[in-house]
Structure 1
């Protein structure tokens, strides 16, 4: 039996910036009782399908309009009680600090003994717990390319994705709507023969199919989500225990709120829409590999071997979900065999200033600084200069 009692302090610092379109910028920071950040929390206005996820440091930004003042902001994160407040009520607070007390999670022995049935039911009931009807995901997709721990190339795409959820083997259509990227400072320019976003679906174990009898399962923790008790079940492959998967399963709904996988240390987080169906909220993974370098590069980079350590750090943040078929507009423009860094779309600075980009995390700031210091060019200038 596992028990948890925790307190969440949600620090929401609000700044209002009214432009010609009456834009309202709501900026906040989410931390736990010990003031540690709560990353990847779903921050939404469910009634309008507006949302984002908090960054590595627990920060988030929502850009709203005057009409949203009567709407409610909802913050959901595993392990914490869902917090809801009207936009206008939050603006009226004298002190922008909200304290939430967590429910105590205490699962009985019957629940723990019967955990294998939860895995079975969760996988079987994906068609009932997830959003299967075609919907559009608006995704901020990032890939940092690193060499020996230094960021040398950044690509960010704003994607429109047509999806039918985890019961579908892959995304049906992907449109690269907007793009920005840094100068490419890599020495080893290894390209992927596909747009990296397609792997969100293709490498998702829920979509590929999890054969539960191939794993040895055990409960390793419990938590909560949206007021529901959640058990954390880990499965290790019987033939190769190094291959593992973790499922965060709702005790009542059998919904899978989060999935972690040994492959690329991938994380998938799902949130409820206004109909209570689960849709993708956040994903990250990191591909680490080594490449052989020339003797000249070895000397130039002061390497001790003929190999250089490379990594691609991927992150996908769902900024909005459109369920109205009449409003779904996805124009598939993915080109087979083309790396994400080779899409040449002119940088639209106005667009990037007006979407719900999360605040720059410490990792993002550090990586951006590395990219700027390579040749002394501000990242914003690189976005503007790199056109074709």
Structure 2
């Protein structure tokens, strides 16, 4: 068995401390828009709903909630009379008039009660693996087959224990190729900023190789070859889990894991498939990292000789969104937890590397490729090498971004204070 992990999985450069200079990027001019903030919670438990989907109805403008269930959305003036649609897997969607939203709104969603009636039971496919194969074969009919120019916000963080050690953010343009062809997507870097506190990295600089491409390649429908090739799909066990719903539509839940006789690292998790159309709507999965040596080879591209680095968790999430009866990639999150051991030292260090990318707007493009190659980044790009420094609070202008977590927000404020002092 030979599995190609090199592009899908976030790889890592673990190198000795290198100090970087600081550059600043000017913010863009803003046009007329209003900003709304809020939190999405479970109405019963009051717990935040992480990665909830928020879309302005009849537009492609959207965002997602962060790990605290919080969101920020910049709404152009022409859509202030529109409707905000809030949805979350397994919950009843909510529609809210934007004109009635206060500056800080709390949105409570009700869990959806899904019952398998007789018709649903009869419609349940006899074989879970066959359903997955059928779903992957439908990308030419159910997903967007136009050249699409997507605006996306990307963030990657590196934490030592619970403290932020590195933070990078970017706005990118994704030149998304049609789902019915094999051409690779392109990514254009529009705006970016970063800061690294090397005092928290113990003389190690951890760099994520792949950047936005790692998240883009988590699009299983466009890039099934990184998880479910025709050969590899036979190495998995598939089974049905309890069904759920999205916007009152029945969704099959497929559990998958590698066969017991397979020792190489493979994936395990859940696929959420729309019962009516057989479209993949969400996927949540992990890499099996029980084999430390092999899983380390997947992620670690370079490290000092006296250091052992191996993953203890690698998790992935990908969400799709439907517009005009066509599905498209909307959001993905990759979280990698690593243990770093210095040979001869008593204690080890735990690092968590997280990257997420959300589509915040998109439009059909008549061109097949990017018009300019000047800002096109490669799949091997290390984002932290492309830019450095944080600037003023208005840096992003009218671009929609993912609201930072409280810990990240605190780190940004510290960075801005340091810049003011200097």
Give me the TM-score of the superposition, normalised by structure 1: 0.78
Distance in 1 (alpha carbons) for counterparts of 2:107 and 2:196: 41
Label 1:148 to 1:21 Cα distance change in 2 as closer, same or farther (>3 A).
Answer: closer
1:21-57 deviation digits (Å, cap 9, x = unpaired): 4431222211112211111121112423111011122
Tell me how many residue pairs correspond in the alignment: 347
Label 1:381 to 1:101 Cα distance change in 2 as closer, same or farther (>3 A).
Answer: closer
Alignment of 1:219-238 (within 5 A): 219-238=240-259
Alignment of 1:340-379 (within 5 A): 340-344=383-387, 349=392, 350-361=394-405, 365-369=406-410, 371=411, 378-379=414-415
Greater relative CO, 1 or 2 (CA 8 Å, sep 6+): 2
Q: Which residue of 2 aligns with 1:28?
A: 38
Q: Which residue of 2 aligns with 1:189?
A: 205
The RMSD of aligned alpha carbons is 3.3
Q: 2:74 aligns with which of 53, 58, 63?
A: 63
Alignment of 1:125-204 (within 5 A): 125-164=138-177, 171-185=184-198, 186=201, 187-192=203-208, 194-204=209-219
Give the Å deviation of 1:385: 9.3
Q: Which residue of 1 aligns with 2:325?
A: 276
Is the counterpart of residue 325 in structure 1 residue 379 in structure 2?
Answer: no
- Local SS of the residue matching 1:182: strand
Is the counterpart of residue 265 in structure 1 residue 265 in structure 2?
Answer: no
Higher helix proportion: 1
Q: 1:122 aligns with which of 111, 124, 135?
A: 135
* 8 Å CA contact retained: 1:173, 1:330: no
* 8 Å CA contact retained: 1:76, 1:83: yes
Q: Which residue of 2 aligns with 1:75?
A: 86
Label 1:20 to 1:216 Cα distance change in 2 as closer, same or farther (>3 A).
Answer: closer
Distance in 2 (alpha carbons) for counterparts of 1:381 and 1:133: 45
- Local SS of the residue matching 2:376: coil
- Local SS of the residue matching 2:58: helix
Alignment of 1:303-322 (within 5 A): 304-305=346-347, 307-322=348-363
Q: 1:218 aligns with which of 239, 243, 249?
A: 239
Q: Which residue of 2 aligns with 1:10?
A: none
Give the Å deviation of 1:189: 0.9
Distance in 1 (alpha carbons) for counterparts of 2:123 and 2:234: 20
**Structure 1, gaps ≥5 residues long:** 1-18, 299-303
Give me the TM-score of the superposition, normalised by structure 2: 0.72
Q: Which residue of 2 aligns with 1:4?
A: none
Q: Which residue of 1 aligns with 2:55?
A: 44
Give the Å deviation of 1:197: 1.3
Q: Which residue of 1 aligns with 2:26?
A: none
Q: Which residue of 1 aligns with 2:335?
A: 286
**Structure 2, gaps ≥5 residues long:** 1-28, 288-313
Give the Å deviation of 1:261: 2.1
Distance in 2 (alpha carbons) for counterparts of 1:327 and 1:123: 24
Is the counterpart of residue 243 in structure 1 residue 267 in structure 2?
Answer: yes
